[in-house]
């Protein structure tokens, strides 16, 4: 009987709730029928979180997202496929079925995404989107197309700055990636597989991820669907602010498998600022090799918990050596920032301006101590793109992109004079064996110290040119046949 009465009571509750929108609910401490009270369902607190609506973000910020198409030529060898990590077996699979082109070059065409950060046409994207591109075409959501100039790029952070000749363009709102919380909703807009202005959404899965061969960027991990063509596009928070640049996926198939990574917008805006104000990008350097501190190492060093970056070796004459950092030190703080994992340190150092002072807190022989270091500059990783007054030499002559030496590079060259080869296009210089990283010291016996001087000497030289170049520590003459 009790069971029957219970079932009848349950049925009445259900009927009442459907009929009038009411439910019965116990008062605290009340157990009798008289202690029951009636409340509307709409008056009860809702335990469920409503899903976000991204339509406003897409409407307001979408017009500032652009499609980027590139064309050019790339070397057949050593070309990696964006979105697939170098150690992936897919890299080898794709290489096996590539058709070599003449002179070891293959034509490339690619697509990516970007977003407008200033009304006069400044656009941020990934460096790998525009790498090796001879022509960059930007398409807006209103179908207008512009040829873009690569103002500069930084391969270390994978950020590039483009510019198009236009005015009064829509721009995105820039957010603060340091305030991003794991678990918050985010939305991406881009051109996966060329499908322009595609919108995907998900959550932030983790922060400060270190990826293979990408140890200088504290990536944000998300589960937003990102595919080839999304690279360089913006990642928005629910306030419609850009908090990252979609950069990579981790995949065994070549397509999205639930793991995507974005460059924090704070990192990207720092790169943009350096390119606009200094014309180049610099990264800080300590000169140490580090490793992770596990529980066993923490116990052996007398550390209360596995944290910090264990210094395994120190480069001679490096900033770290001059600051008396030793092998066996555990760096637990850098400029007041805790080092929870060894991967935290490289990104903090790289984002520090060379020449600035930094404080280190290290654990040495069971004691904490503070050291001070003058941060050095990372060489051969900060890449400056050519500006108007440091132009690419005309492609019908040599096919070289060159620039003056920076301060550190001048110390490595006798006399401090020469020009750095930034890139080599298919042409006379490429066929003669000139490589990026070569330093041009002289042409036909005339010492070279500036871009205009080299251009003038090439015009006077005729069809036979002898370049004296410095490659590593070796000087050599390279004969180039022009025409």
What mean pLDDT is predicted for residues 265-285? 91
Per residue in 87-139, pLDDT (tens digit) is 444 444 444 444 444 445 566 778 999 999 999 999 999 999 998 888 999 99
Max Cα–Cα distance, the chain, nearest Å: 112
**Residue 435 annotated to the active site:** no
* Boundaries of every domain in the chain: 2-43, 51-281, 284-377, 388-481
Best mean pLDDT range from 197-206, 249-258, 297-306: 197-206
Domains 51-281 and 388-481 agree in fold: no
Query: Looking at 69, 88, 113, 128, which residue is catalytic?
Result: 128
Is domain 51-281 given the CATH code 3.90.1150.10 in the classification?
Answer: no
Best mean pLDDT range from 75-79, 218-222, 425-429: 218-222
- The whole-angstrom separation of Cα 105 and Cα 72 is 10
Query: Looking at 69, 113, 157, 231, which residue is catalytic?
Result: 231
What mean pLDDT is predicted for residues 287-296? 89
- How does residue 392 score in pLDDT terms, banded at 50, 70 and 90? very low
**Residue 231 annotated to the active site:** yes
- How does residue 213 score in pLDDT terms, banded at 50, 70 and 90? low
Percent of the chain scored above 90 by pLDDT?
Answer: 42
CA atoms within 13 A on the CB side of 471: 10
**Residue 128 annotated to the active site:** yes
Q: Which residue has the higher pLDDT, 14 or 189?
A: 189
Q: Which residue has the higher pLDDT, 116 or 29?
A: 116
Per residue in 174-200, pLDDT (tens digit) is 999 999 999 999 999 999 988 988 999
Mean pLDDT of the chain: 80
Per residue in 400-434, pLDDT (tens digit) is 888 888 777 777 787 788 888 877 777 788 888 88
Q: If we measure between CA atoms, which residue out of 118, 110, 111, 112 comes closest to residue 64? A: 118
- How does residue 40 score in pLDDT terms, banded at 50, 70 and 90? very low
- The whole-angstrom separation of Cα 115 and Cα 141 is 11
Find out whether 354 and 280 touch, Cβ atoms under 8 Å: no
Residue 464 clears pLDDT 70, i.e. is over it? yes
Provide the CA 80 distance to its chain's centre, in angstroms.
16
Count of C-beta atoms within a 10 Å radius of residue 10: 10
- How does residue 479 score in pLDDT terms, banded at 50, 70 and 90? confident
Tokens encoding 368: 């904490």
Residues 6+ apart with CB under 8 A from 73: 101, 105, 106, 107, 108, 132, 134, 425, 426
Per residue in 308-345, pLDDT (tens digit) is 999 988 888 899 999 999 989 999 999 999 999 888 89
The lowest-confidence range among 14-18, 248-252, 446-450 is 14-18
Q: What's the confidence (pLDDT) of residue 462?
A: 73
What class has domain 388-481? mainly beta
Find out whether 478 and 434 touch, Cβ atoms under 8 Å: yes
Q: What's the confidence (pLDDT) of residue 73?
A: 67
Q: Which residues pair with 147 in a beta bridge?
A: 137
Query: Looking at 88, 113, 153, 158, which residue is catalytic?
Result: 158
What mean pLDDT is predicted for residues 469-481? 81
DSSP strands (E only) in 335-463 = 337-338, 357-364, 367-374, 376-377, 400-404, 419-424, 439-443, 446-447
- The whole-angstrom separation of Cα 483 and Cα 34 is 103
Per residue in 141-160, pLDDT (tens digit) is 999 999 999 999 998 899 99
What mean pLDDT is predicted for residues 434-452? 83
- What number does CATH give the domain 284-377? 2.30.42.10
DSSP strands (E only) in 155-270 = 159-163, 173-174, 185-190, 198-211, 214-222, 234-237, 241-249, 260-264
Q: If we measure between CA atoms, which residue out of 466, 451, 459 comes closest to residue 418? A: 451
Q: What's the confidence (pLDDT) of residue 286?
A: 94
Q: What's the confidence (pLDDT) of residue 46?
A: 53
């Amino acid at each position: 009987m009790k069971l029957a009465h219970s079932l009848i009571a349950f049925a009445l509750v259900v009927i009442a709730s459907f009929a009038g929108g009411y439910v019965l609910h116990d008062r605290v401490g009340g157990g009798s029928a008289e202690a029951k009270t009636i409340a509307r369902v709409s008056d009860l607190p809702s335990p469920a979180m409503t899903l976000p609506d991204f339509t406003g973000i897409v409407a307001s910020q979408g017009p500032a997202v652009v499609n980027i198409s590139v064309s050019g030529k790339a070397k057949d060898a050593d070309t990696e496929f964006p979105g697939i990590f170098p150690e992936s077996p897919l890299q080898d699979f794709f290489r096996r079925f590539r058709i070599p082109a003449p002179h070891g070059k293959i034509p490339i065409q690619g697509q990516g995404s970007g977003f407008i950060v200033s009304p006069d046409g400044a656009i941020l994207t990934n460096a790998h989107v525009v790498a090796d591109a001879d022509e960059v075409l930007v398409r807006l959501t209103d179908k207008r197309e512009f040829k873009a100039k690569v103002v500069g790029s930084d391969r270390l952070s994978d950020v590039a700055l483009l510019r198009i000749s236009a005015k009064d363009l829509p721009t995105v709102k820039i957010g603060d990636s340091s305030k991003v919380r794991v678990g918050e909703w985010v939305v991406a807009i881009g051109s996966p597989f060329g499908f322009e202005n595609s919108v995907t959404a998900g959550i932030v899965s983790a922060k400060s991820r270190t990826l293979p061969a990408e140890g200088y960027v504290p990536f944000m991990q998300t589960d937003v669907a990102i595919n080839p063509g999304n690279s360089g596009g913006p990642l928005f928070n629910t306030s419609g602010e850009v908090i990252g640049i979609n950069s990579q996926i981790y995949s065994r198939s070549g397509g999205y498998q639930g793991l995507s990574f974005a460059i924090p917008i704070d990192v990207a805006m720092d790169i943009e600022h350096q390119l606009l104000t200094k014309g180049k990008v610099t990264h800080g350097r300590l000169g140490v090799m580090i490793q992770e501190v596990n529980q066993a190492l923490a116990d052996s060093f007398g550390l209360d918990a596995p944290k910090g970056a264990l210094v395994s070796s120190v480069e001679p004459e490096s900033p770290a050596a001059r600051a008396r950092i030793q092998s066996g030190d555990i760096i637990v703080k850098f400029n007041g920032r805790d080092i929870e994992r060894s991967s935290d340190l490289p990104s903090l150092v790289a984002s520090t301006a060379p020449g600035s002072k930094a404080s280190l807190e290290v654990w040495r022989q069971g004691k904490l101590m503070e050291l001070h270091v003058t941060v050095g500059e990372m060489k051969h990783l900060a890449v400056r793109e050519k500006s108007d007054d440091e132009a690419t030499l005309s492609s019908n002559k040599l096919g070289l992109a060159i620039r003056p030496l920076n301060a550190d590079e001048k110390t490595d060259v006798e006399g401090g004079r020469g020009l750095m080869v930034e890139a080599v296009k298919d042409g006379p210089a490429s066929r003669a064996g000139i490589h990026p990283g070569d330093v041009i010291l002289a042409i036909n016996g005339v010492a070279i110290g500036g871009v205009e001087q080299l251009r003038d000497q090439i015009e006077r030289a005729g069809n036979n040119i002898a370049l004296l170049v410095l490659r590593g520590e070796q000087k050599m003459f390279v004969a180039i046949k022009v025409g």
